[in-house]
Chains A and B, each alone.
Chain A
Amino acid sequence: MTGGGAQDFTEPEQRKLTRLCMQTAQLLMQHGAESALVENVTVRMGEALGLEKIQLGITANALSLTTLTDEHCITTVRRNIDGGINMHVVTEVQRLMLRAERREITLGQVERQLNEIKPLHYNKWLLCVMIGLSCASFARLMGADWTSCAVAGVASALSMLVRLTLSIWHFNPMLNFTITAFVATSLAGLSVPLAIGEQPRMAMAASVLLLIPGYPLINAVSDMLKGYANTGLSRWIVALLLVLAASVGIFMALSLWKIKLWI
């Protein structure tokens, strides 16, 4: 199978290939790949499988794909449901495409391996501990004393647990960010009345850093710079809303507990 160049396919064959290309695009789009990568990998996958031409339309909520072979077109549209950032999936899909491109695997293998790709999820407790350590390091990099770093670490580890729990329950991400930011600020803010550490302000600043929407922001800029302004803008808005949601949580905590950080 998968010989070089375009081939003639029967309609059921072309349908199957179209579905495989769409599955490739969907896996990438759902797990946080930038639009240029989604298009590049999908088109190359289709060409590697012997299709003549592949056209991919990308929007934030849906993907449309047309394959062309021997003057026959098949078009399909799929909803794009966010599956959370998962670079493991993106890497696996890309490697599969590269293997198909080098003719190392057959069509049947591509199909089977594509279905076998499952998102990698690190252990919940490991994540909490590592995010706690990360935010403690952030506090230290900002110049806080070790006690304030410890405050930031504990506050962010606990709020990470809240964030993961809420996302397992499929809470709205914005609401999740507001609640998590509220918990983080409240916990770190406890160090003000209890007089723990010398820089409670930095402890609080570091403890909410676990909410940085890194991938949406970076992908938004990349997309817009590479000519995918529509997906770029929607990613940008999502990132901005997440930041805004987190700020709402911080404001609520500051105002509710009457935390005085300004001199």
Chain B
Amino acid sequence: MDLNIVMVLQDMVLAAIPAVGFALLFNVPKHSLGYCAMGGAIGHGLRFVLTHEGMRIEWATLIAATLVSFIGVYWARRLLAHPKVFTVAAIIPMIPGKPAFTAMLALFEISRSGFSTDLQATLTTNFLQMSFIVAALALGLAMPGLIYRKPII
């Protein structure tokens, strides 16, 4: 399936909604909500394009999270607020919910119906994928803090 602008836009809109939802949950100031939405859309949209072009999801997540965190630094300087105010909500759409839940289901199934190599394989691959994506998100977000030595604002 070829990548077209409609698919990317749909993905970005779908990612913007959870970014705002979680920003509300974190009690982000009202005027920052739009930036959270934009960050969410940019991050997930970029990851969507990169994985569609054949990049591994872990690398795509790392690149997208890093980009979002640097955009967050730019906004932080302009709006005088800590970058995490924008970026944590913005990376929420990239949280690996599906691998996490699949791993959990496999674990549950092993405990209910006994060990099988298939279930163990599902558990391990999904758990590893989840761990690497979470690590990529965390590392990507921490990137500006590791590179800039002075406080951002």
Residues of A within 8 A of B (CB): 32-34, 36-37, 40, 84-91, 94-95, 98, 119-122, 126-127, 130-131, 133-138, 140-142, 201-202, 204-206, 208-210, 212, 214-215, 217-219, 221-222, 225-226, 247, 250-251, 254-255, 261-262
Contact = CB atoms under 8 A, between A and B. Distances in A.
Among B24, B82, B138, B151: residue with most chain A CB under 10 A: B82
A98 B27 CA distance: 21
Contacts of B26: 32, 85-87, 214-215
B5 interface: no
B27 A250 contact: no
Given A130-B20, A130-B21, A225-B145, A95 B80 contact: yes
Contact residues on B (Cβ < 8 Å of other chain), bracket: 35 or more
Given A87-B32, A214-B22, 20 more contacts: A37-B84, A85-B25, A86-B27, A87-B29, A88-B28, A94-B81, A119-B27, A120-B27, A127-B24, A131-B24, A134-B20, A136-B17, A202-B98, A208-B101, A214-B89, A218-B88, A221-B141, A222-B142, A225-B145, A254-B105
A88 B27 CA distance: 6
Interface in B48-77: none
Label chain A's interface by main secondary structure: helix
Given A40-B151, A87-B29, A225-B146, A209 B84 contact: no
Given A90-B85, A94-B81, A140-B14, A212 B101 contact: no
Interface string B12-55: 00110110111011111100100000000000100000000000
A134 B21 contact: yes
Interface of B: 11, 14-15, 17-18, 20-22, 24-29, 32, 44, 80-82, 84-85, 88-89, 91-93, 95, 97-98, 100-102, 104-106, 108-109, 112-113, 134, 137-139, 141-142, 145-146, 151, 153
Contacts of A261: 105
Contacts of A251: 104, 108
Contacts of A218: 84, 88, 91, 137-138, 141
A89 to B, nearest CB: 8
Contacts of A262: 105-106, 109, 113
A94 B27 contact: no
Contacts, number: 146
B28 A205 contact: no
A205 B82 CA distance: 31
Among B21, B82, B89: residue with most chain A CB under 10 A: B21
A205 B141 contact: no
A262 B108 CA distance: 10
Contact of B97 (A40, A130, A138, A217): A138
Nearest to A28: B82
B112 A205 contact: no
Contact of A222 (B21, B32, B141, B153): B141
A188 B32 CA distance: 32
Given A204-B101, A206-B97, A212-B95, A121 B27 contact: yes
Nearest to A217: B138
A202 B97 CA distance: 9
